[in-house]
Structure 1
Amino acid sequence: MSTPTIASNAYQMAARLTQQANPAEDALGARNSADFGQMVQQAVETVVDQGRASDQKAVGLVEGKTDVVDVVTAIAETEVALETMVTVRDRVISAYEEIMRMPI
């Protein structure tokens, strides 16, 4: 599957999810670009919040208030979220580069 196809499929899936979340909007997809920006901002905030929770649990472990299993679980969840964000970023950059290589 080529990069433009992957990017197109990802955009269409995101558009469908947004449309399902906002059924009052018209079928033509008249949305502003702030929706995508908000979606990215929320994803970043989620990863940051998970990182902070992991840090708090690690501090709790040092203080003797948190179980080791909880700390390891929180760190693993944060790692997965961060890896997912990096993968999405890499795919977006790859799709952008492919679009820039297209002849006009």
Structure 2
Amino acid sequence: MSVPFAAASNAYASAAQLGNTGQQGAQLAQKPSNGPDFGEMLTQSLTEVVETGRVADQKAMDLVNGDSNVVDVVTAISETEIAMETVVTIRDRVITAYESIMQMPI
């Protein structure tokens, strides 16, 4: 399945606007909290997953150029796969929780 460039560009722009709106709303309704902010934790985790993917890509390119060995590439790809599986599991659990909340009687 291919995604047109314009559609991807619009999706990234929409996501950026949503992120900015969320930050402005968070600044307006600041409450003291004892724990870490879920949004910040999620953003940090996703950033780490993306960075892990970039490292794996770079190691794969180094292997193609003859600057790396297969073990390093396989390890980096495995780390990326585990990180992605974790993100997908968290997403699935959030969706399940949302569906449970929506089924609750008012």
TM-score range, shorter chain: 0.5 to 0.7
Aligned with residue 99 of structure 1, among 92, 101, 106: 101
Structure showing greater relative contact order (alpha-carbon pairs closer than 8 Å, 6 or more residues apart): 1
Q: What amino acid does structure 1 have at the position aligned with 2:42?
A: V
Shift of 1:57: 0.1
RMSD: 1.9
Gaps in structure 1 of 5+ consecutive residues: 1-28
Aligned to 1:62: 64
CA distance in 1, matches of 2:55, 2:95: 29
Aligned to 1:17: none
Aligned to 1:26: none
Q: Deviations over 1:41-89 (max 9, x none)?
A: 0010010000000000000000000110000000001000000110010
Shift of 1:35: 1.1
Q: What is the TM-score of this pair, normalised by structure 2? A: 0.67
Q: How many residue pairs are counted as aligned between the two chains?
A: 75
CA distance in 1, matches of 2:49, 2:92: 16
**2:74 matches 1:72:** yes
Gaps in structure 2 of 5+ consecutive residues: 1-30
Aligned to 1:14: none
Q: What is the TM-score of this pair, normalised by structure 1? A: 0.68
Question: Which runs of 4 or more aligned residues in structure 1 lie more than 3 Å from their structure 2 counterparts after TM superposition?
Answer: none
Aligned to 1:38: 40
